[in-house]
Amino acid sequence: MRYSKIIVTIGILAAMMIAAVAVAQDEMTGEGMPEMGPPTEIQDLGYMVGTWDVDMMTKWEPTDTAWMPMKGTAKYEYAAGGGALMMTFNSEFMGMPFVGTMLMTYDRETKKWQSIWVDNMSGRISYSDGAKTADGKTVMEGKDIYQGQTYGSRTTVYNDDKTSFDWKMENSYDGKTWVTTATAKYTKRPQPKQ
């Protein structure tokens, strides 16, 4: 009698282990597996791939009243097998080459856009994240440092018609008041005929 209870118990435990393994395999290969591959939201930005002309106005100090014009180019291409969009920006600032790179993707779990930026002037990686608003703007916020002071940084992309868009950068030193420090108009160059 005792042996038959042990055999039944072992049989039940074995059945439970087999069921657990089957469920785990199903989760890894079936319905339980999270969506993989390039995010649809990034693939929807395929129209951005190419070269864009950038007409920018900028000021370095929030109290400046004079705006400095700046022209540049932005080249967008897919990176990480289509999982991200990379932009390389080239311009000239105060007689020196200004080069920056942005990498942007969409996080399916947080439902937020994420981007990093690095350029040859600051030599620092800046991170921001954000979302699209109901009126079609993409707003990204993060923190940055200038002359030892940490401040809020916010960029907004709006009026996007797939051949041009407006861009605005704002800074906040108190977390409440935002001051526009740069604006730009991006215009896509026609694609060469193949």
pLDDT, tens digit, for every residue of 101-158?
A: 999 999 999 999 999 999 998 889 999 999 999 999 999 999 998 888 899 999 999 9
Going by the DSSP 8-state scheme, the letter that residue 187 receives in this structure is: E
Mean pLDDT, the chain, whole residue set: 86
- pLDDT beyond 90 at 34: no
Per-residue burial over 117-145, b = 16 or more CB atoms within 10 Å of its CB, e = otherwise: bebeeeeeebebbbeeeeeebbbbbbebe
> Rounded distance, CA 163 to CA 85, Å?
17
Decide: pTM greater than 0.95.
Answer: no
Binned at pLDDT 50, 70 and 90, residue 18 comes out as low
Residue range 40-188 forms a domain whose CATH class is mainly beta
Determine the pLDDT at residue 30.
52
For 49-80, how does the pLDDT look when each residue is reduced to its tens digit (9 = 90+)?
Answer: 999 999 999 987 777 888 999 999 999 999 99
